[in-house]
């Protein structure tokens, strides 16, 4: 790693931690988050000048810099055989090619000056960083309230333990903060996938209680499909999210950490707080991490006074950002995915092996599918040309009749009329209740073809159950206005029709239960072998009763 130039505040802290706190060089490097070689460089320069901590405390930055760099300056001035590198060219090379490093450029510099003395790699890096500090001052950004929200994923991950296996797993840390107040939100998620990226932003806006003018994300795949300094190509779903909330998505420039310095600092704070403060605690799920974040760490962070300002992030947010944020929409954004597809000559597009219709006049055109868990929308350019309820039935088709060519529609309607005529005749053959149910189902649906599958289901019940049971079930369904396939199916599966028959038998008169034929057929009362009620209305023994009775053989015997 290239060594930094001499920053006096950094030099003083290295010397203080080493001489006063008795830390080793590697410990100082970890505390200050600088390289071990940089710490050694500062210490060597100080020792060469016989400096002590008491002496350093009495020196201002200019005197300290002069003391540490005096030897190098005199060497540069006196040794004309050491040519200075072209720092402008170095800067241009580093900016134009991401594969070029200071090590590579130093080797090229060394190769061109083999016959004369040249600067060592450490001197080369120190001189270059001094050049950068003097020639590229950093402009401080001032953000208005509610103007910008920064978002990014942290570099370090949060560990948690799988309770069942004991395996150590890691969660990604999403961090977002407001530009004006530094008000911070954080959440642990399983991955950096687009679904988690979008969900984190939705929850961030709800946490903030409003929508900023713009969101500045990092150049991750969930936000940008093609990074570019001037015109980065936004991920279609993330752009759709921005349009839904009425905010502008403005990705940070690639490899320009200063564009999102706020969130970079927020990431560093969250990493230190979560991974540092909670290093001795064991989590068993991402939900536990988020519980600690929301209930302990974030309130503590946002309510803590910032030393330079004397106010907390929460106070600044309430004063600056919250009043300027725009209101959230009445309902949450439902994540949608996008897909482009050319419309085939069958005027259907395919999504998860299910077919959805589009107007036939667009055959051969490239259409855009926007789909959620419940809805499929089809766009031609910016115009929505079709909308369907999403189905998860591979190999099947969802068709709007208006999307068919006139010839296809006429053929389909003719076929549909033939089927409806057939199914009505079949239902009347089963019984009047089945006929009434089928007629009611056809009337219920606004388009007859929508009832086709349900009618086919009713017909299939005859094969599984008897026609008698189907007629009884249809009768019960009609009585309760259940003009649906599942109403009849449920009655048959639960054997409610059989229970109804049993109840009817129990409530019938006793002589009908003993001789059900008396009430089973209307023609039974006119049968030639039945005497009828008129016979029993006669007197059993008329006044002119005979003293004899007729036997079966026709003879007379005494009574």
Whole-number Å distance between alpha carbons of 334 and 371: 10
Place 550 in a pLDDT band, splitting at 50, 70 and 90: very low
Token output for 352? 């998860």
Count Cβ neighbours within 10 Å for each residue of 418-452 and write b for 16 or more, e otherwise. ebbeebbebbeebbebbbbbbbbbbeeeeebeebb
- 114-119's contacts with Cβ under 8 Å and 24+ in sequence apart are 116/81, 116/82, 116/83, 117/79, 117/81, 117/82, 118/82, 118/83, 119/82, 119/85
Query: Among 72-81, 128-137, 177-186, which stretch is predicted with the lowest mean pLDDT?
Result: 72-81
Q: Express as a percent the part of the chain with pLDDT over 70.
A: 73
Mean pLDDT, the chain, integer: 77
Check residue 514 and give its pLDDT: 45
In 86-197, DSSP assigns E strands to 148-153, 158-161, 168-178, 184-189
Check residue 44 and give its pLDDT: 85
User: Across residues 240-252, what is the average pLDDT?
Assistant: 84
Check residue 274 and give its pLDDT: 65
Check residue 101 and give its pLDDT: 80
Residue 263 has pLDDT above 70, yes or no: no
Burial of 256: CB neighbours in 10 Å, binned 0-12, 13-18, 19+: exposed
Check residue 202 and give its pLDDT: 94
Residue 518 has pLDDT above 50, yes or no: no
CATH 3.30.420.10 region(s) of the chain?
148-324
Residue 544 has pLDDT above 80, yes or no: no
Burial of 403: CB neighbours in 10 Å, binned 0-12, 13-18, 19+: buried
Contacts for 405 with CB less than 8 Å, ≥ 6 apart:
347, 360
Residue 494 has pLDDT above 50, yes or no: yes
Check residue 146 and give its pLDDT: 86
Check residue 35 and give its pLDDT: 85
User: Is the full-model pTM beyond 0.75?
Assistant: no
- 70-79's contacts with Cβ under 8 Å and 24+ in sequence apart are 72/123, 72/126, 79/117
Whole-number Å distance between alpha carbons of 414 and 152: 59
Place 212 in a pLDDT band, splitting at 50, 70 and 90: very high
Higher per-residue pLDDT: 239 or 416: 239
Contact at 8 Å (CB) between 348 and 355?
Answer: yes
Check residue 253 and give its pLDDT: 57
Place 189 in a pLDDT band, splitting at 50, 70 and 90: very high
Higher per-residue pLDDT: 330 or 535: 330
Higher per-residue pLDDT: 557 or 121: 121
Contact at 8 Å (CB) between 156 and 275?
Answer: yes
Summarize pLDDT for 426-465 with one digit per residue, the tens. 888 888 888 888 888 877 765 555 677 788 888 888 888 8
Residue 532 has pLDDT above 60, yes or no: no
Residue 404 has pLDDT above 90, yes or no: no
Residue 301 has pLDDT above 70, yes or no: yes
Summarize pLDDT for 153-162 with one digit per residue, the tens. 887 888 888 8
Q: Express as a percent the part of the chain with pLDDT over 90.
A: 9
Place 549 in a pLDDT band, splitting at 50, 70 and 90: very low
Whole-number Å distance between alpha carbons of 147 and 178: 8
Higher per-residue pLDDT: 159 or 546: 159
Sign of the torsion angle spanned by Cα atoms 182, 187, 193, 196: negative
Number of other CB atoms surrounding residue 86 within 10 Å? 12
Burial of 8: CB neighbours in 10 Å, binned 0-12, 13-18, 19+: middle
Highest mean pLDDT among 53-57, 218-222, 223-227, 417-421: 53-57
Highest mean pLDDT among 73-77, 123-127, 218-222, 549-553: 123-127
Residue 553 has pLDDT above 60, yes or no: no
Residue 58 has pLDDT above 80, yes or no: yes
Higher per-residue pLDDT: 493 or 83: 493
Q: Report DSSP letters for 445-501, one per residue.
A: SSSGGGGHHHHHHHHHHHHHS-HHHHHHHHHHHHHTT--SHHHHHHHHHTTHHHHHH
Contact at 8 Å (CB) between 91 and 133?
Answer: no
Summarize pLDDT for 104-120 with one digit per residue, the tens. 888 888 888 776 678 88
Higher per-residue pLDDT: 442 or 98: 442
Check residue 3 and give its pLDDT: 39
Place 80 in a pLDDT band, splitting at 50, 70 and 90: very low
Residue 522 has pLDDT above 70, yes or no: no
Spell out the CATH class of 148-324.
Answer: alpha beta
| Bridge partner residues of 339 (DSSP) | 369
Query: Among 96-105, 126-135, 408-417, 487-496, which stretch is predicted with the lowest mean pLDDT?
Result: 408-417
Check residue 400 and give its pLDDT: 85
**Residue 41, CA distances (Å) to 34, 36, 121, 122 in order:** 12, 9, 12, 9
Whole-number Å distance between alpha carbons of 300 and 294: 10
User: Across residues 84-98, what is the average pLDDT?
Assistant: 73
Query: Among 108-112, 266-270, 398-402, which stretch is predicted with the lowest mean pLDDT?
Result: 266-270
């Amino acid at each position: 790693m290239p060594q930094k130039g001499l920053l006096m505040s950094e030099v003083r802290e290295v010397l203080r931690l080493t001489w006063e706190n008795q830390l080793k060089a590697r410990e100082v490097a970890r505390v200050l988050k600088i390289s071990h070689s940089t710490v050694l460089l500062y210490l060597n320069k100080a020792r060469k000048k016989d400096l002590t901590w008491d002496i350093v405390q009495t020196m201002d930055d200019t005197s300290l810099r002069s003391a540490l760099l005096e030897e190098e300056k005199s060497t540069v001035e006196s040794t004309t055989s050491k040519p200075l590198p072209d720092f402008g060219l170095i800067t241009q090379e580093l900016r134009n090619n991401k594969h070029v490093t200071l090590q590579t450029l130093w080797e090229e510099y060394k190769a061109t000056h083999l016959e004369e003395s040249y600067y060592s790699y450490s001197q080369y890096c120190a001189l270059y960083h001094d050049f950068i500090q003097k020639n590229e001052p950093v402009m401080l950004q001032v953000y208005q309230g509610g103007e910008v929200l920064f978002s990014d994923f942290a570099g370090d991950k949060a560990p948690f333990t799988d309770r069942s296996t004991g395996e150590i797993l890691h969660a990604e840390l999403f961090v977002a903060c407001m530009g004006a107040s530094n008000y911070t939100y954080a959440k642990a998620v399983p991955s950096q996938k687009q679904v988690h990226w979008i969900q984190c932003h939705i929850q961030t806006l709800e946490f903030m209680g409003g929508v900023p003018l713009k969101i500045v994300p990092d150049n991750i795949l969930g936000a940008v499909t093609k990074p570019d300094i001037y015109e980065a190509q936004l991920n279609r779903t993330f752009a759709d999210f921005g349009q839904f909330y009425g905010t502008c998505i403005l990705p940070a420039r690639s490899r320009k950490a200063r564009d999102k310095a706020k969130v970079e600092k927020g990431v560093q704070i969250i990493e230190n707080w979560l991974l540092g403060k909670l290093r001795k605690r064991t989590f068993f799920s991402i939900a536990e991490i988020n519980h600690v974040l929301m209930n302990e760490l974030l309130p503590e962070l946002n309510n803590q006074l910032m030393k330079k300002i004397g106010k907390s992030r929460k106070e600044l947010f309430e004063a600056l950002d919250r009043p300027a944020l725009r209101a959230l929409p009445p309902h949450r954004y439902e994540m949608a995915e996008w897909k482009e597809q050319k419309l085939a000559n069958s005027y259907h597009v395919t999504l998860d092996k299910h077919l959805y219709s589009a107007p036939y006049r667009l055959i051969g055109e490239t259409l855009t599918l926007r789909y959620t868990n419940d809805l499929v929308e089809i766009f031609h350019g910016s115009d929505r040309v079709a909308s369907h309820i999403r189905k998860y039935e591979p190999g099947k088709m969802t068709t709007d009749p208006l999307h068919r060519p006139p010839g296809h529609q006429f053929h389909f309607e003719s076929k549909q009329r033939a089927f409806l005529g057939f199914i009505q005749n079949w239902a009347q053959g089963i019984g009047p209740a089945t006929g009434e149910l089928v007629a009611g189902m056809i009337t219920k649906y606004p388009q007859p073809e929508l009832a086709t599958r349900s009618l086919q289901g009713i017909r299939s019940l005859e094969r599984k159950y008897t026609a008698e049971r189907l007629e009884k079930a249809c009768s019960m369904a009609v009585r309760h206005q259940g003009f649906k396939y599942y109403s009849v199916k449920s009655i048959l599966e639960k054997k409610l029709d059989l229970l109804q028959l049993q109840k009817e038998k129990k409530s019938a008169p006793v002589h009908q239960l003993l001789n059900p034929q008396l009430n089973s057929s209307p023609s039974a009362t006119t049968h030639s072998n039945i005497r009828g009620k008129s016979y029993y209305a006669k007197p059993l023994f008329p006044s002119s009763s005979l003293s004899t009775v007729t036997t079966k053989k026709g003879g007379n015997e005494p009574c």
